[in-house]
Amino acid sequence: MKTALVTGSAGFIGYFLCRRLLDEGFRVIGVDALSDYYDVALKQRREAMLKESPHYRCVHDKVETPGLLMGLFAEETPEVVIHLAGQAGVRHSLEDPRSYLESNIIGTFELLEAARAHPPRHLLIASTSSAYGANDVMPYVETDRADHQISFYAATKKSTEAMAHSYAHLYGLPVTMFRFFTVYGPWGRPDMALFKFTKAILNGDPIDVYNYGDMKRDFTYVVDLVEGIRLLMDAIPERPANREVPEGDSLSPVAPWRVVNLGNSDCVQLVDFIKAIEAATGCRAKQNLMPMQAGDVPATWANADLLKTLTGYRPKTRVTEGVKAFVAWYRDYYKV
């Protein structure tokens, strides 16, 4: 039985990934601190469903805890490691930047040190579309320079990309970085727009719409995202001979390291996203139009050609379908 170690296992994406791996016959070691950044009960419910499998082991601790991951790598010798743990949220990084330093940067350092001592076949690490920062040429392509992050959250994630590259170069660790694009779906995070909008609309409360509604996002359905991760697990990067990198590939010329966009390749206007929620709930939204928040960007849009080249797969769920699935879950979970 193959062993996978997943950090952030009780999180939104972590839960879906662990469930997918368990269904496929993996033994899964899940690490999650069950932090109170959002409703802990939601994380506990996700984890409880994972624990129904005899092949799931959960470890409750912070990834930045010195020696924690080193011990787990030594004990479990996972073949594949997917690092999803970290402090999320652009806006929260303005209020509590130290938590991002500790979880995202120090936590990733602990992971890399453990992987150096006990190398898995493939190490996969979550980054973010926010790493593209002030880039205004879209859709975003992995080979574009990404030097001007505009939130501390994005800066910490871009830092982990550079850290992982150095370990890949120095120690031959095969590393794939993911840049996620606005992931949504059932069991989603309460701090994300879809959750907050659905809750407010069903309660008859107004929703805060930033940049006066002039926002675009590449909304990526969580099941599609997990499918992309699973397929990339088998697309292990190799250090190129003579620094020759195929055209369009983000593979490093000096390391078995690459970065891959995981997005729907569809730039959706926020007003259309809200209309999809209204259609799914059967309620009209009361909109409180507001200026852009600091650290946010007006648009994201992924070029997913590299994912297609590496795996033959491209995310395909339409926003209307994904929103409908989320609203159905929300009504059932909260009995509204």
Angle at 92 between CA 192 and CA 33, to 5 degrees: 80
Q: How many residues does this entry show for the chain?
A: 336
Instruction: Give CB contacts under 8 A, 24+ apart, made by 325-328.
Output: 325/185, 325/186, 325/221, 326/184, 326/185, 326/186, 326/188, 326/194, 326/195, 326/198, 326/280, 327/198, 327/277, 327/280, 327/281, 328/186, 328/280
Partners of residue 209 on adjacent β-strands: 289
Q: Which strands form 27-31's sheet, in the order they lie side by side? A: 56-59, 27-31, 3-7, 80-83, 122-128, 175-180, 257-262
CB burial class (10 A; 0-12, 13-18, 19+) of residue 54? exposed
- Sign (positive or negative) of CA dihedral 104, 11, 39, 273: positive
What ranges in 103-192 are assigned the alpha helix state H? 107-117, 152-171
Residue positions annotated with a catalytic role = 153
